Structure 1
Amino acid sequence: MIYYIEGKLTEVTPTYAVLDCAGVGYLVNITLSTYSNICAKPSVKLFTHAIYKEDSQTLFGFNAKSERDIFIQLISVSGVGGNTARVILSSLSSEEVISAISSENVRLLQSIKGIGAKTAQRIIIDLKDKVTGIETSITTMGAPAGVKVEAASALEVLGYTPKQTERLLVQLTGETPDAGVEEIIKQALKRL
């Protein structure tokens, strides 16, 4: 198992990066969040997970261990492969995925291209108990996931879709991590 790869970034696109490690170029599939974190750096360290099949070997890389941990949990769900898990983590941040699973937000998971109702429900059922360990490491990076979940629920009651609010809520809680639910909702309503 390759735990991480560190090397010179020779090529990067929103879907993959090529790292030169001691003269060997590794093609690593990445998420959009990883892309935005590494695209301007000359050398990077990516935490990896390899998927081996009869006809292919695919290496996935992540800027943070927590994102890799969520990826591994997602691919453990029947019907969710490496590319589907990468699409999920490209559409939602790690924190949003954990929040959606913890709060059983099927609609948010369904809003991701390629995820239907059954797959979204299966992800929630299979991972609800498994994400608690990952959740603690992620929620320390910003506002508690509960604040976002409560704010998202309140905005949904007011008629806004999860797709409209999720990214804004992540941005707002990042800007003001100590803000309560009320303050986040007020700020969100001003920007929607």
Structure 2
Amino acid sequence: MYAYIDGKLTFKCPTYIVIEAGGVGYQINISLNTYSALANTERCKVYTWLHVKEDAHTLYGFADEGERRLFLHLISVSGIGPTTCRMMLSSITPVEIQNAIINADVALIQRIKGIGAKSAQRIILELQDKLKKEGPDSLISMPLHNTVRNEALSALIMLGFGKQVAEKAIDNAIKNGGEDLTVEQMIKVALKNL
């Protein structure tokens, strides 16, 4: 529902922040990773995810889009909720979590409070192939300037194609159609090559 909230940081503690945007103060739950990323800022942009339950609507915030995407992957695992994900992101860095999943490092994931052996194995089982398919660091690194090529590549990955396969298709599309293609044209040409 909310992609991000950009505004004045009016309150900050290790578990949540309050951002004032448009005259409204948003209380946003954060991880320690995000807390340290917002060290000495007055104004910030926090990527968000809204958790809706019968009795509450809770906002979770992340310092960057990569951390939010990792969070969304983690909550897709059966038995892992937003509170557990926040604990994971507070215990070890997103890069360490991603590497632990890709390398099937059950011991590292198990060291996180609230994660037992079965949960750690389930996380690895359900996410390892997804993260390998997207390529190393795909969740963590985000392009700073979205070019037409990067947007088309992201769209193909979201459609379920592997990163390397999508990159080859995009490169072929550029070679055949030129660099003046729009995002839509590039995706269409690339899909014909896949």
Calculate the TM-score normalised by the size of structure 2. 0.69
Residue identity matched to 2:40: A
CA distance in 1, matches of 2:113, 2:140: 26
Whose radius of gyration is greater, 1 or 2?
Answer: 2
Q: How do residues 114-153 of structure 1 correspond to structure 2 at under 5 angstroms?
A: 114-132=114-132, 133=134, 135-137=136-138
Q: For 2:41, give the aligned amino acid.
A: K
Corresponding position of 2:3: 3
Runs of 4+ in 1 over 4 A off after TM superposition: 138-141
Answering whether residue 78 of structure 2 is matched by residue 66 of structure 1, we say: no
Aligned length: 141
Going from structure 1 to structure 2, the CA distance change for 1:50 and 1:111 (only over 3 Å counts) comes to same
1:39 aligns with 2:39: yes
Q: Which amino acid aligns with 1:136?
A: D
Aligned 8 A contact 1:70 1:134 in 2: no
**Deviation digits for residues 63-98 of structure 1 (CA, Å, limit 9, x no counterpart):** 111100000000001111001000101111111001
Who is 1:28 aligned against?
28
**TM-aligned CA distance change 1:60 to 1:134, over 3 Å:** farther
Partners in 2 of 1:96 and 1:54 — Cα distance? Answer: 34
Residue ranges of structure 2 left out of the alignment (5+ in a row): 143-194
CA contact (8 A) 2:95 2:137 kept: no
Counterpart-to-counterpart distance in 2, 1:70 and 1:20: 26
% identical aligned pairs:
48
Answer yes or no: is the 8 Å Cα contact 2:8–2:44 preserved in 1: yes
Deviates more, 1:58-67 or 1:124-133: 124-133
Three-state SS of the structure 1 residue aligned to 2:45 is strand
Letter of the structure 1 residue corresponding to residue 115 of structure 2: I
TM-score (norm 1): 0.70
